Each structure stands twice: as structure tokens, then as C-alpha cells.
Amino acid sequence: MILKRPVWGVSLGGAIIQDKLFFFAAYEDFTEPYNTLRGPVGSGAANTATVTQADIDEVVRLARELYGVDAGQWNINNDQKDKKLLAKLDWNINDDHRFSFTYQNTGGLMPLTLVQVQTLDEISLDTNFYNNQQDFALPMLRTYI
């Protein structure tokens, strides 16, 4: 089996007005198939937890009937995704003043199991993935004396 892990990025920067106004932009994209870490007893998964499919079915049923939540399944098919965007604008107003503006956006779909350690009796369901989205903008005016 060949693991496909495409990562690509692009960046571009330069002067809009020579010695006065500059820009920089960058984008990165990462996608990786997610392999199920652990399956129930008898599932044929590479690693086996100490829970059975009947245990998982009961948890899923309780989540649905008591809380109206679809807890998902253990055989996860989601891809891990991570996207990043950065844009920056620098303006040399004069010898004493500079202005810069930076914008950053990151987002992705990642399993919580990447930041948690599973024990032998734990199985993550496909609803254990979370959407991560962050926007950050920073305007800054600098004065030089």
C-alpha cells in the first residue's frame, strides 16, 4: 500500500510601489488519509481494543435515543486536512512611520486522537473529528524617533 500525503504550497511577494509599499501572500494545503487506529474485538483492524462491536452499538444507540446525537462508527473514512493562508502588506509611510497589516487564516479537519493518547480499551468514532478554523488580523503602526 502506498501512502499518499499531498502537501503543496505557493508564496508570492514583492513591491507594489518601489521602496514604499510591499505585499506577501502564502498558501499551503495538506491532505492525508486517516487510518483507523483501533477496532473492536474481532474486527480485523491492525490494533484491537478490548471493546466489542456490541459495546459500540450500545453506545451509539444510547447517544441517539437519549441525546439525539449520531455518535458515528469506528471505521473512520475521513481525510485529515489542513489549509493555511497568510497575507501581509507593509507601507513605508515616511522615514518615521511604518504601517503593516497581517492576515492569517488556518482551517482543517483533524481527529482528536492526534492530540490524545488512546488506551487499549478506547475506540474513536468518526465523530471524533473536529473542524478547526482560525482567523487573525493584525494592523500595526510603528513610529520611529
Q: What is the pLDDT of residue 114?
A: 47
Q: What is the pLDDT of residue 80?
A: 79
Print pLDDT tens along the chain (145 aa): 566 677 899 999 999 999 999 999 999 998 887 767 778 888 888 778 888 889 889 989 998 999 998 888 887 777 778 899 999 999 999 988 999 999 999 888 776 654 455 555 677 777 766 667 778 887 777 776 5
- Quick one: three-class SS letters along the chain? CCCCCCEEEEEEEEEEECCCEEEEEEEEEEEEECCCCCECCCCCCCCECCCCHHHHHHHHHHHHHHHCCCCCCCCCCCEEEEEEEEEEEEEEEECCEEEEEEEEEEEEEEEHHHCCCCCCCCCCCHHHEEEEEEEEEEEEEEECC
Q: What is the pLDDT of residue 62?
A: 92
Q: What is the pLDDT of residue 104?
A: 92
Q: What is the pLDDT of residue 11?
A: 96
Q: What is the pLDDT of residue 29?
A: 92
Q: What is the pLDDT of residue 115?
A: 47
Torsion of CA 42, 43, 46, 52, to 10 degrees: -70
Whole-angstrom Cα distance, residue 115 to residue 103?
27
Q: What is the pLDDT of residue 41?
A: 85
